[in-house]
Amino acid sequence: MVDAATLRLSVLDQSPIPEGLTGGDALRNTIDLARLTDRLGYARYWIAEHHGIPMLASAAPEILIAEVAAATERIRVGSGGVMLPHYSPLKVAETFSILCGLHGERIDLGVGRAPGSDRETMFALQRDRRQMSPDDFPEQLAELLAYFEKDFPPDHPFARLEALPGGDQAPDVWLLGSSPQSAIWAGELGLPYSFADFINAEGAANALLYRTRFVPSVRRAQAETTVCVSAICAETDEEAERLAASQRMAITLLRRGRLIAVPTVERALEFFAEAGPLAAAAGRRAVVGSPETVRAGL
């Protein structure tokens, strides 16, 4: 068990768009929050990738990573994550090679299999729309790693592409997931693994599966795990619960197919007062409360 003295805190930022503000405001909020967490000593600042969702402005993590890294001094900056099925592995490798060329060893590349969107938006992101893209994530991930590690066989047609534009510096590659399959892939490839606790409450079993299947590699000698937790902290439990109403309303309506900006606390409280306690319980898994409550929850 990890104790509070050794626990390292990081941020996964989705660049939420508050009601009444713009996507540009949300992106500038991301830069401000990154500067603050850098000063406070947080370990990492990761940018999510979501498409076609009015409450989130984080559609292009690679652009935000460059801005955040330029605005900070010490904190590691990366993607949480790049949704690899949307892209050519070479394009991702070149993009993150350039980020490494600019910012050295501070760059992380978290990759995921989920679309970060609904099925229609995923299709709109495709270049070739004659049919749905193949489900070939393991092959994509292997190709991506081969670019960074210069591991193509000499006679492979892509071997000459190993000379990436940012030079020899490569990002720290993480596999993101919320399923047993992602845990298995991360373990067998010897990759560090980041688990989405706010999506799936069965994280302990997945982390154990990851460690059981872990094979030491050039990427990691030992298993390493991060856990992404949705957490809202305020001076008291009551104030934290009040603030959490905004997120809970947005997620409740998202699950009903209604896409909105993040509502104000006042509008969210009115919504739940009218909808009843059943709707209030429909939010995502989260740790909400005072510093003592959140410390214990984490």
pLDDT digits over 166-208, tens only? 999 999 999 999 999 999 999 999 999 999 998 888 889 999 9
- Could you tell me if 171 and 252 lie in one domain? no
Sign of the alpha-carbon dihedral angle for 204, 209, 212, 218: negative
- Could you tell me if 18 and 127 lie in one domain? yes
- Could you tell me if 172 and 238 lie in one domain? no
0.95 exceeded by the pTM?
no
Identify the weakest region by mean pLDDT among 86-100, 194-208, 275-289: 275-289
The CATH number linked to 103 is: 3.20.20.30
Confidence class for position 243, pLDDT limits 50, 70, 90? very high
What is the distance between the alpha carbons of residues 77 and 174, in angstroms, rounded to a whole number? 12
What is the distance between the alpha carbons of residues 269 and 239, in angstroms, rounded to a whole number? 12
Closest CA to 49 of 106, 103, 7, 95: 95
C-alpha 166, offset from chain centre: 23
User: Of 129, 161, 177, which closes a domain?
Assistant: 177
- Could you tell me if 143 and 29 lie in one domain? yes
Q: Is residue 119 part of a domain?
A: yes
The whole domain housing 262 covers 233-297
Q: Is residue 228 part of a domain?
A: no
What is the predicted pLDDT for the residue at 275?
A: 80
- Could you tell me if 283 and 164 lie in one domain? no
- Could you tell me if 165 and 254 lie in one domain? no
Residue 234 pLDDT > 70:
yes
Q: Which helix (H) or strand (E) holds 109?
A: strand 107-112
Residue 281 pLDDT > 60:
no
The β-bridge relationship of strands 172-177 and 193-196 is parallel
Would you state the structure tokens that stand for residue 147, as one six-digit string? 């670019």
- Could you tell me if 17 and 164 lie in one domain? yes
What is the predicted pLDDT for the residue at 282?
A: 52
Quick: pLDDT tens for 98-111: 999 999 999 999 99
Identify the weakest region by mean pLDDT among 46-50, 182-186, 254-258: 254-258
Confidence class for position 280, pLDDT limits 50, 70, 90? low
Residue 4 pLDDT > 80:
no
Identify the weakest region by mean pLDDT among 140-144, 169-173, 244-248: 244-248
What is the distance between the alpha carbons of residues 259 and 197, in angstroms, rounded to a whole number? 23
- Could you tell me if 162 and 246 lie in one domain? no
Q: Is residue 267 part of a domain?
A: yes
pLDDT (average), residues 32-40:
98
- Could you tell me if 246 and 113 lie in one domain? no
Percentage of the chain modeled with pLDDT above 90: 80
- Could you tell me if 290 and 166 lie in one domain? no
Domain count along the chain: 2
Residue 119 pLDDT > 90:
no
